[in-house]
Amino acid sequence: MTRRQNVGKLERISSAGLAGLLVLGGLKQRGLKRLLSLSTAGFLAYRAGSGYCPAYERLALDSTSSASHPRSAQDTVTILADPERTYDFVRDLSARDDIFTRFHLLPSAEEEGQVLWRLDLPLQRSYSVPLRLVEDRTNRSITLEPVKDDSPILRIHFKFTEGRNEGETRVDLIADYKIPGGYMGNQVASLLEPAVRTMLRSNLLRLKSKLEAGEIPSIEGQVSGRQQRSYR
């Protein structure tokens, strides 16, 4: 009987590689360890060869899909400033480097409304995506989308509405994104969602501080006992 495949290509290759390693390792073992290693390798080899995993079937999982599903993360903040001022402030994206720590103006781009979304990674590496302004509704919303279609960032959207109290503005910041790699990419995207939300929250709090207090609170460069020579 032919079973329906439920293991994706990337996973089948990984399973095959892992099965090979387990065979090599298992042959050096004796007794129960050898039996366990070789039987696990056999299961992984079957999974790699057939593309079918009984455990996935029981758990109703399927990693064969090559489609990456878009995800959306959002956060909101209320600022004691009217929508006009808030919109004007955000609209001037090129001047907002200190607030939107992941946004930077493309150095070479003279085109109006084009910005660079930059993700700072460990070891001083960064990943950049050029975005362009696709919708600009004065005092109401700003939408940015990637210049190229293969970008993991699908949309950055700011929405401005009047707050609950007079003189306040509610700012919603929404990021739509997807991670390539089909099923695995979707799982990674799902795991990344809290980090994306934290990034949005951090940017919104900085925006609020800048607009309300005129500066962003900071202790960077502050003195402490960690700077004295005899400390240990």
Partner 1 sequence: MKAVCWFGKEDVRVVTVPDPSILNPRDAIVKVSLTAICGSDLHLYNGFIPTMQKGDILGHEFMGEIVETGSEVHNLQVGDRVVIPFTIACGRCRFCQDQLWSLCDNSNPNALVAEKLYGYSPSGLYGYSHLLGGYAGGQAEYVRVPYADVGAFKVPDHLSDEQVLFLSDIFPTGYMAAENCDIKPTDTVAVWGCGPVGLFAIRSAALLNAAQIIAIDRFTERLNLARIAGATDLINYEQESVLEALHDLTGGTGPDKCIDAVGLEAHGIGISAGYDYVKQKLQLETDRAHALRQIIQGCGKNGIISMPGVYGGVVDKLPLGAAFSKGLTFRMGQTHVHRYMGRLLQHIEEGGVDPTFLITHRLSINQAPHAYRNFRDQKDEWVKVVMRPGE
Q: Could you list the residues that contact partner 1 (CB under 8 A)?
A: 78, 80, 165, 168, 198, 201-202, 205, 208-209, 212-228, 230-231
d(CA 6, CA 201) in angstroms, rounded, equals 37
Compute the CA torsion angle 104, 190, 177, 97 (nearest 10 deg): -10
Residue with tokens 């509610």: 170
Between residues 32 and 219, which has the closer beta carbon with respect to partner 1?
A: 219
Cβ distance to partner 1 smaller for residue 110 or 166? 166
Q: Which residue, 2 or 227, has its beta carbon nearer to partner 1?
A: 227
Task: Give the shortest CB-193-to-partner 1 separation in angstroms.
Answer: 16
Tokens of 204: 């919104």
| Residue closer to partner 1, measured from CB, 148 or 226 | 226
Nearer to partner 1, 30 or 232 (CB): 232
Contacts of 15 (CB under 8 A, 6+ apart): 7, 44, 45, 47, 48
Please give the Cα distance from 189 to 199 (Å, whole number).
14
For residues 12 and 183, give the distance between their C-alpha atoms in angstroms, rounded to a whole number.
13
Q: CA nearest 128: which of 109, 146, 149? A: 146
Residue 88 to residue 138: CA distance in whole angstroms: 8
Contact 204, 171 (CB under 8 A): yes
